[in-house]
Amino acid sequence: MASSDLEAYRTYAMMAKPVGARCNLACEYCYYRKEHPAARMSDEVLEAYVRQTIRMHGSKAVVEFVWHGGEPLLAGRGFFRRAVKLQRMHADGRTIVNNVQTNGTLIDEAWAELFAREGFVVGISCDGPRRAHDAYRCDAGGAGSLERVLAGVAACAKAGVRVDGLCAVHCANVHAPRALYEFLRGLFPLVQFLPVCDVVTASGSAHLTDASVDPDEYGSFLCEMYDAWSEDRPEARPVISIFEAIGRMRNGAPAGICEFEPTCGHAGCVETDGSVYACDRLVDERHLLGNVLHEDLAVLMERNRPFGIAKLTGLAPECLSCECLRLCFGGCPTKRFAQASSGVPINVLCAAYRQLFTHISTKSANAD
């Protein structure tokens, strides 16, 4: 394909947070609760963000808008109607896709009708059956949220809206992967697993949070989940992002998920005031790229290149000699808080992913 054709299909992966970290739940493991801005994204910021996002994509590209939070539905239906109107105004022939990531508890018939009318794909957070889900996904009063989540899923299903699942894997569900698989497969055509593995520092020492998964346990979870998934009837099993990504990589294709791509830096995060950050997990002064009200988004994302390249240049020597390097590329940089024998930071989930890669390779070899 000629360079001019590649330019025409140029894409970015942007994430916008229309109400910042504001949320109607108080999930204990949430990595974003440290920020609680009161303001909703203004019409001025929204217009600049939509216009600039579309413009920096190639003329034939599919432009995906991902709305995240906090809880983005707190912005209200009027906000999303304005966003869609602006997208149509500035599309200039490009295909527009909207994806909203929500806890699902606010979705009623009116929200579902809006999503159906405008073709939204909805990602809903669900950690499994009640005991697993409600262990950490509670409101400020301590009440569990599963029943409200399932009502939201049902409203979307009734309206014909596609709903994908985002499942945080934590100490309350990591020990029952097959039960979790059976629960999720009945709700979602696609499931993405998000390991809770965060570190806190207290009394001068760092340790994993109470909700976090032990890396070895997460590895066992992934292996057993893979077995449940691969043994299921192909027409009945959901797409599971990590397994699909590994399959693509084993066939020489890109992973398709940022965690296992060789570089980062193409997926920025836009906050309510128009500030743009290198990654939605790194909303801090060090990773601030600028503001869409003052500079064009294409310029800001170009400024993100050094951050993206550092994913490879910052690898530990142990990673460079590892047979799994071309499958994980060191994993997500935000999880590099374990230490290799060389003293260089390494992904805390390294052992889990090595266990999964080996398991899949062994099963594939035996099947052949």
Q: Check residue 341 and give left, alpha or beta (phi > 0: left; psi -120 to 50: alpha).
A: alpha
Q: State the Cα–Cα distance between residues 152 and 56, nearest whole angstrom.
A: 34
Tokens of 263: 């570089």
Residue 363, CB-side half-sphere exposure with 13 Å CA sphere? 15
Is-catalytic flag, 198? no
The strand ranges marked E within 144-281 are 163-169, 190-195, 199-202, 205-208, 239-240, 269-270, 275-277
Q: State the Cα–Cα distance between residues 265 and 33, nearest whole angstrom.
A: 23
Catalytic residue among 127, 134, 164, 280: 280
| Burial annotation 90-125 (CB, 10 A radius, 16+ → b, else e) | beeebebebbbbbbbbebeeebbbbbbebebbbbbb
Residue whose C-alpha is closest to residue 352's, from 198, 240, 220, 209: 220
Tokens of 48: 């600049």
Is-contact 83 50, C-beta < 8 A? yes
Is-contact 330 311, C-beta < 8 A? yes
Q: Which helix (H) or strand (E) holds 101?
A: strand 95-102
Active site residues: 280
